[in-house]
Structure 1
Amino acid sequence: MSAQSAPPLHILILAAGASRRMQGRDKLMEPVEGQPLLRKLACAAIGTGLPVTVALPPDRPARTAALQGLALSTLTVENPQDGMSASLTTGLAALPDGVAIMVLLADLPEIEGQDLQTMAKAQRANPDLILRATSQSGVPGHPVIFPPWARKALATMSGDEGARALLQDHRDKICLIALAGDHATTDLDTPADWARWRAKNGLSGGQ
């Protein structure tokens, strides 16, 4: 398949996690650049011009509210306690057959629209490969783009491993795409993580 015939690309944002380590706070609602992290990432995704779908849990109305007015689709993951695979399989079932999927975790505060554009451009040039973002120094992270041929295997994932087994089984078909700085790997799971990150970047609690 040539770059000219690359399959359509959809962005699937996985936002059904429980934020269990946040001591009652919701990390996807943490303010980044003056808006909830989830909305910031959704806006970056929409800015690519690609179709965007967000997988949400049934019990976090604030996340749904944070996406109000945005040009995207949402879907409910009825069993988010089953781990990331539940979001993946629910999202896959809702997206058209034959399209490539950029899987974007919703808890990456440094991801910018340009990062997603970089990934989309790489997909057009390498439509048959799995494309995985890395930090500038080469540490694997997210997002990850899966071509249509990988969707069947993704749909069989279970537990909280996400697509790890698929990535392991198809190491020879992975192309690593370096993004700026640590954009692909900065994942903040606890209040202490958020405090350190804000201090490092000279940000207040409202940024």
Structure 2
Amino acid sequence: MIAGLVLAAGSGSRFGSDKRQALLPDGRSLLEASVGAFIGQVGDVGLVLPEDDAFGLALCEQLGVRPLPCALNRAGMGHSLACGVAWALSLPDCRGVVLGLGDMPGVRPHTVSQVAAALWQGRLVLPCHDGNPGHPRGLPAACLPGLLDLSGDIGARDALDWSQALRLDLDDPGILLDIDTADDLQRAG
């Protein structure tokens, strides 16, 4: 089974408010759109959230995904990723994880399924659009234990050797679009 893991426990300070709740033109929240691409494309889906996150917990219940509260989320993305990886390693027969970010609402569901399918080869999977690498990325089960001790701002991009990854050329510009500021959201709309 290939799991989906979406990181959404950061503070989003450059946005000025909780960007996860910002509404897209179709009425969905930024986080709902980002997580929605994973539903039905992979096995279990986990969503890493800050502790006591009422919005995130309600969304998990609505979408049927597993909430993964991270106590150390404010200490950097590494802690959030380690929290999510611990959950994935607890899943029976998990062969890998499609790792997404909670601020990338333009990723297409078919992209998630393509990354998941490529993961069965047992290699890191790096999706690209017009030669540029993006997200979601594929992490085979063999590399997950090495991510359990991540901390600070060290994420999978820095902790793994992506030069050996299977490059997956996709016709999905959404893999390059992350929303960090209110201006990014306006341009995406």
TM (normalized to structure 2)?
A: 0.89
What is the RMSD computed on CA atoms of the aligned residues? 1.8
Deviates more, 1:137-146 or 1:154-163: 154-163
Indicate the residue corresponding to 1:51 in structure 2.
44
1:182 equivalent to 2:170? Answer no
The higher radius of gyration belongs to 1
Distance 1:197 1:49 in 2: 26
Tell me which residue corresponds to 1:129. Answer: 123
Q: Does the Cα contact within 8 Å between 1:44 and 1:112 map onto a contact in 2?
A: yes
How far the C-alpha of 1:49 sits from its partner, in A, is 4.7
Aligned equivalents of 1:39, 1:18: Cα separation in 2: 17
Q: CA deviation at 1:186?
A: 0.4
Gap regions ≥5 residues in structure 1:
1-7, 199-207
Identical counterparts, % of pairs: 29
> Which ranges of 4 or more aligned residues in structure 1 deviate by more than 3 Å?
none
Instruction: Count the aligned residue pairs.
Output: 185
Name the structure 1 match of 2:84.
91
**Cα distance change of structure 1 residues 47 and 190 upon mapping to structure 2, 3 Å threshold:** same
One-letter amino acid of the counterpart of residue 50, structure 2: P
Q: How much does 1:117 deviate?
A: 1.3
AA aligned opposite 1:182: P
The yes-or-no answer on 1:61 pairing with 2:57 is no
TM-score of the two chains, using structure 1 as the length reference:
0.82
Aligned to 2:10: 17
State the Cα deviation string for residues 71-129 of structure 1 (Å, max 9, x = none): 221110001111111111111222226521111111112112111111122223x2x21
Match of 1:105 in 2: 101
